[in-house]
Every structure is written in structure tokens, then in C-alpha cells.
């Protein structure tokens, strides 16, 4: 579906669990979270509420931040897998690019996770066209998640690039 549920503020409360359950009942089939959201509690709440996941429900999470080195990403992924109560994450996105590390190195680590069967698809968050092009030389990038709304339109060129290349934005 074109609409998903962002869970940046979800905590493990009865109300949050009811919200997640109701969203899925209403046909929401994309849940977005990140290891940083509410200190990992967002992922834990999703896992406690929805695991095992129904067929067709895509749970996406993000790992890595602007100071994260590729060798630190495995620990973040393993924590997300545990909190989400799954062996494989549908869509794992690099949350932020570390400016001190070539994006190719970070994406190569994500590609290793994919090859190991720990993630199905690779996405990026808060990137530009040049970074996306470099990342695509290492792995298939299926999605980009940048801030984009009525007020923030600075990524128009990236939206056009993604549209032209069949990448979800």
C-alpha cells in the first residue's frame, strides 16, 4: 500500500500495541522503525505486538548513524533482529551516512548481511544522488527515505532520479 506507519515515538504501552494491531487490521502493510527510535523500544514494541509477522507485512528498520563505522553495524543489526523477534529483516536501511567512511564500505557491510540472509532488501536514508549512485555500484538499493513533505522539497532531484530508476522514495 502507498501508506505506511512510522513508529518514531512508539513505546511499549497498551495504547501503542493497540495502534499497531489496528493499523495492520486496516490494511497497513508497511511498518517503519529504527534502532534509535525511543532507544530501541519501538522495535521491541513491534516485535512484542506483531511477531510472528503475517505474510505481506513489511517491517523496515534502520541502522547506522553518522558516527557508525561498518564494523559496528553487525551489533546494531543483531540487536534489531532480537528486538523485532525475527531472523530476517525485510528492509534494512542505512540510517545516516558516516561522512568519514566511504558509503561503499557501509553498503558493502549491508550487502554481507543480505548475503547471509539476515536482511532481504537494502535501503538508504538521508542521501543525495551522488551517494545513491555510489551505493548502487555495491548493492541493489530498493528504497531511499529522506525527509520530504509539503514544506521540505530539497530532494526533488533525488525523487526524479529514484522515479527514473524504479527506486522507492
Q: What is the pLDDT of residues 26-39, one digit of tens each?
A: 999 999 999 999 99
The SS3 assignment for 106 reads helix
d(C-alpha 41, C-alpha 44), whole Å: 5
Percent of the chain with pLDDT over 70: 100
pLDDT (mean) for 59-70: 93
Locus of grid cell 551516512: 97
Q: Are 142 and 113 in contact (CB under 8 A)?
A: no
- pTM above the 0.85 mark? yes
Q: Where are the alpha helices (DSSP H) in the chain?
A: 14-25, 41-50, 70-84, 103-115, 129-136, 156-165
Q: Kindly name the residue from 35, 37, 53, 92 that is annotated as catalytic.
A: 37
Q: Are 7 and 32 in contact (CB under 8 A)?
A: yes
The pLDDT value recorded for residue 3 is 80
Q: Is 37 a catalytic residue?
A: yes
pLDDT (mean) for 100-120: 97
In the predicted structure, residue 2 carries a pLDDT above the cut 80: no
pLDDT (mean) for 134-155: 94
pLDDT (mean) for 4-30: 96
Amino acid at each position: 500500500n502507498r501508506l505506511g506507519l512510522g513508529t518514531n515515538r512508539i513505546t511499549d504501552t497498551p495504547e501503542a500495541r493497540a495502534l499497531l494491531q489496528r493499523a495492520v487490521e486496516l490494511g497497513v502493510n508497511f511498518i517503519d522503525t529504527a534502532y534509535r527510535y525511543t532507544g530501541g523500544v519501538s522495535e521491541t514494541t513491534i516485535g512484542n505486538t506483531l511477531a510472528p509477522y503475517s505474510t505481506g507485512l513489511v517491517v523496515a528498520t534502520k541502522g547506522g548513524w553518522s558516527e557508525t563505522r561498518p564494523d559496528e553495524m553487525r551489533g546494531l543489526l543483531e540487536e534489531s533482529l532480537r528486538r523485532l523477534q525475527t531472523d530476517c529483516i525485510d528492509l534494512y536501511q542505512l540510517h545516516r551516512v558516516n561522512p568519514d567512511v566511504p558509503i561503499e564500505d557501509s553498503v558493502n557491510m549491508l550487502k554481507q548481511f543480505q548475503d547471509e540472509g539476515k536482511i532481504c532488501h537494502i535501503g538508504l536514508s538521508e542521501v543525495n544522488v551522488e551517494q545513491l549512485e555510489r551505493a548502487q555500484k555495491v548493492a541493489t538499493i530498493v528504497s531511499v527515505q529522506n525527509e520530504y513533505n509539503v514544506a521540505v522539497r530539497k530532494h526533488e532531484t533525488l525523487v526524479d532520479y529514484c522515479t527514473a530508476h524504479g527506486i522507492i522514495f
